[in-house]
Amino acid sequence: MMRLRKIILREIHLPLVEPFETSFHRLSNRRMLLIEADVDGVSGWGECVAGEDPFYSYETVETAWHIIRDFLWLALKKQEFAAAADVFDMLGQVRGHNMAKGGLEAAIWDAEARQKSVPLAKLLGGTRSEINSGVSIGIQANTEALIAKVQRELAAGYQRIKIKIKPGNDIEPVRALREKWPRIRLMVDANSAYTLEDVARLKQLDAFYLIMIEQPLGHDDIYSHAQLQKQLETPICLDECIHDVEHARAAIEIGACKIINIKLGRVGGHTGARRVHDLCKEKGIPVWCGGMLESGIGRAHNIALSSLENFSLPGDVTASKRYWAEDIITPEVEVSPQGTIKIPSGPGIGYEPRVDRIESLTCRREVLE
Ligand code: OSB
Ligand code: MG
């Protein structure tokens, strides 16, 4: 049996190497909440992916801090559990707040894997030795800038290109990329910027044989995606809508999507992620691992998760240097010229948090014990 002895919450700020623009905001500086969990004397690390604002989901760094300190810690602190796999259900009294849960739960998984001296990917049941990597490219100032950016990412080896779109900045950039690169694996992500009124516009995207369109409609509107999918050739992939395995089941059953993006934070951690993964596998729905502009710690968890079998499409899991001048783990995450990332063989997440660097970046810290 194991017990959570202590949690250290730290807030750090890391400047992005360049601003990241989506349909919902433009971000230059990432505020992050890191969770260090002491499980019977072994430290594990997790990252809460909640944002600086509630524009992607309702959670923010502030809400996550509050929920972890005032509820999740209390739910766990006196409890024994057999494995990190049990933790998610122990937090079930707290509704939602999956990013808060996910950061803490992931830290406990890392601690368990370190305590057992196994790679986290193995503990999760992963079968891959490397993962396939794609990139997510923010909205650019103009088409020339976008083309230059895509050129760079293809040259670096990335296996698929995703661009962010919004109404008025959609058909033209996609057309330009398709004219230049007829054969690359290309997709778009709208982050809920459209409504069913935009069907005619969205149908124009069918001409560009995109591998998928990610989350075109409302962030909590599974039903309308089913209406839209009936009218689109391009497969819909859901991101924002899917918070647990029951959402995934509903979406699949009513035909709201043909692909699902799994983000650790959005589904409350590795246990939630495995449940969505397993259901999708059973239903023949491919999944891929989304990203939330994570530091190396969140990135390392995404790599471990992506080792599961049904992560059969390239994810948004990329090299540290795409976002950070200097990451907070060693070694940094690197991508091969073939666009793959090797699953590390060391214990836990397989990358070491640079604790001195993290401490020097820390602007808020709280110890719960
Ligand atoms: O919708 O996938 C998204 C970043 C922040 C919030 C939402 C999303 C994203 C990304 C970036 O697309 C993915 C990455 O971390 O590279
Ligand atoms: Mg998305």
Q: What is the pLDDT of residues 47-64, one digit of tens each?
A: 999 999 999 999 999 999
Predicted confidence band of residue 35 (pLDDT cuts 50, 70, 90) = very high
CB atoms within 10 A of CB 78: 8
Predicted confidence band of residue 150 (pLDDT cuts 50, 70, 90) = very high
Please tell me the predicted confidence (pLDDT) of residue 78: 87
For residue 302 and ligand 1, the question of a CB distance below 6 A is answered with no
For residue 340 and ligand 1, the question of a CB distance below 6 A is answered with no
Q: Where are the alpha helices (DSSP H) in the chain?
A: 61-67, 73-76, 87-90, 98-115, 120-124, 143-155, 171-180, 199-204, 222-231, 245-253, 270-283, 296-305, 355-361
Average pLDDT of 270-283? 98
Residue of 191, 264, 292 to mutate, ligand 1, most atoms within 8 A of C-beta: 292
CB atoms within 10 A of CB 282: 10
At 15, phi and psi to the nearest 5? -75, 135
Average pLDDT of 232-240? 98
Average pLDDT of 303-324? 98
Q: What is the mean pLDDT of the chain?
A: 98
pLDDT (tens digit per residue) in 6-31: 999 999 999 999 999 999 999 999 99
Predicted confidence band of residue 39 (pLDDT cuts 50, 70, 90) = very high
**Strand 135-137 to 161-164 pairing:** parallel
Residue 288 host element (H or E) = strand 287-289
Give whole-number Cα distances, 92 to 7, 95, 261, 267, in Å: 19, 7, 23, 12
pLDDT for 171 beyond 90? yes
149 is catalytic: no
Among candidate residues 78, 162, 263, 281, the one labeled active-site is 263
Average pLDDT of 62-71? 98
pLDDT (tens digit per residue) in 182-222: 999 999 999 999 999 999 999 999 999 999 999 999 999 99
Whether this prediction's pTM lies above 0.85 is answered by yes
**Distance separating alpha carbons of residues 70 and 128, to the nearest angstrom:** 38
Q: Which residue has the tokens 């990597």?
A: 133
At 190, phi and psi to the nearest 5? -100, -10
pLDDT for 330 beyond 90? yes
258 is catalytic: no
Please tell me the predicted confidence (pLDDT) of residue 341: 98
For residue 57 and ligand 1, the question of a CB distance below 6 A is answered with no
